[in-house]
């Protein structure tokens, strides 16, 4: 039985011919939505840690982090990718990005770069720099969260859905792989709104998607809203439904890299069910099995993972 969902592991095996590992590194990047360029408050769901490890602040450079953190994957002979996850890693002048890329190119045995950023922190010059990086694979993780501009304003993203589309199209045209980050359960949004966002990214040249449930984390503006009774988190069952329906709508060539959010230790305030990451993944897998859901099966045309090469016939628009 073929897998019902295309994973990042499968995508990496096709690229590198073996297992690959993203090594999380902290480059000490910042974010225009935090340093005052756009806002000092950050996105509604983000706290000042910005999902970071804080290792850069503690004085560990990229090379030192790499030397320690890449060891287990190196012993397993996996392809190694430097993964700059926290904050917006292409923020700032192109010279900063060029220096960062040059430093990463010198990391022993590096074969790929994966870099998280915002769509408004990319321009043609930066995209060219990324495309010229001397590694086999460059992957950009671009935050969108919602394709609805009213929601983007409500959660203080500081960019529009059109910004995301432009950045994705330009990056893909330069040969970069783009992974879209989207969220279910954002304030004011329903499952239907989330699925509209999924359809929006599915129509763009993305290589991957990360599906997240909205977390209320300590220190975020959403935590204050939640405490004041202004936000009700999504129910676990609704999230499982939302993810399964998203999987059915996503094209088969898109790697579904994440199916739920991973709360940092000690930060999660609500919903409590979000702490059960493995249990949620099991619920999703069981639902896919029970309802015979396959990635791509709800697309009007194209392939479905139901069987290798299985084609969905053209349907009504």
Q: Which residues bind ligand SF4 (CB under 6 A)?
A: 31, 33-34, 42-43, 46, 50, 87-88, 118, 143
CB nearer to ligand SF4: pick between 87 and 231: 87
What whole-number distance in Å separates Cα of residue 143 and Cα of residue 21? 21
CB nearer to ligand SF4: pick between 211 and 240: 211
CB nearer to ligand SF4: pick between 12 and 87: 87
DSSP symbols for 14-69: HHHSS-EEEEEE------TTTSSSS-SS--TT--TTTT---TTTTT--HHHHHHHH
Q: Can you read off the two tokens belonging to residue 15?
A: 């690229």
> In angstroms, what is the minimal distance from the CB of 259 to ligand SF4?
19
> In angstroms, what is the minimal distance from the CB of 37 to ligand SF4?
11
Coil, strand or helix at 119: helix
What backbone phi and psi angles, to 5 degrees, belong to 140? -105, 130
What whole-number distance in Å separates Cα of residue 210 and Cα of residue 13? 18
Q: Can you read off the two tokens belonging to residue 225?
A: 């809203």
> In angstroms, what is the minimal distance from the CB of 49 to ligand SF4?
9
CB nearer to ligand SF4: pick between 118 and 306: 118
> In angstroms, what is the minimal distance from the CB of 260 to ligand SF4?
17
CB nearer to ligand SF4: pick between 27 and 107: 27
Look at residues 292, 294, 187 and name the one whose alpha carbon lies nearest to residue 232: 187
Instruction: Specify whether the CB–CB gap between 299 and 249 falls below 8 A.
Output: yes
> In angstroms, what is the minimal distance from the CB of 136 to ligand SF4?
27
């Amino acid at each position: 039985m073929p897998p019902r969902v295309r994973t990042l592991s499968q995508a990496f095996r096709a690229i590198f011919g073996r297992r690959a590992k993203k090594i999380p590194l902290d480059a000490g990047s910042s974010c225009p939505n935090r340093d005052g360029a756009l806002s000092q408050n950050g996105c509604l769901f983000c706290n000042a840690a910005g999902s970071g490890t804080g290792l850069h602040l503690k004085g560990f450079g990229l090379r030192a982090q790499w030397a320690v953190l890449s060891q287990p994957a190196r012993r397993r002979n996996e392809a190694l990718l430097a993964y700059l996850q926290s904050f917006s890693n292409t923020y700032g002048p192109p010279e900063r990005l060029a220096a960062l890329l040059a430093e990463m190119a010198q990391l022993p045995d590096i074969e790929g770069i994966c870099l998280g950023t915002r769509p408004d922190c990319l321009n043609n010059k930066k995209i060219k720099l990324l495309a010229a990086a001397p590694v086999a694979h460059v992957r950009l993780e671009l935050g969108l969260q919602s394709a609805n501009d009213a929601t983007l304003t409500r959660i203080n993203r500081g960019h529009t859905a059109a910004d995301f589309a432009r950045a994705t199209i330009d990056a893909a045209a330069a040969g970069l792989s783009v992974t879209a980050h989207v969220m279910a359960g954002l304030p004011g949004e329903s499952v239907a709104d989330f699925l509209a966002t999924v359809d929006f990214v599915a129509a763009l040249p993305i290589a991957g998607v990360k599906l997240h449930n909205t977390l209320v984390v300590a220190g975020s503006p959403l935590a204050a809203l939640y405490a004041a009774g202004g936000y009700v988190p999504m129910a676990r069952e609704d999230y499982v439904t939302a993810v399964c329906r998203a999987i059915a709508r996503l094209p088969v060539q898109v790697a579904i890299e994440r199916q739920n959010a991973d709360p940092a230790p000690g930060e999660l305030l609500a919903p409590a069910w979000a702490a059960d990451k493995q249990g949620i993944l099991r619920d999703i897998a069981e639902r896919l099995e029970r309802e015979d859901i396959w990635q791509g099966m709800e697309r009007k045309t194209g392939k479905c993972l139901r069987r290798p090469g299985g084609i969905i016939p053209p349907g009504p628009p």
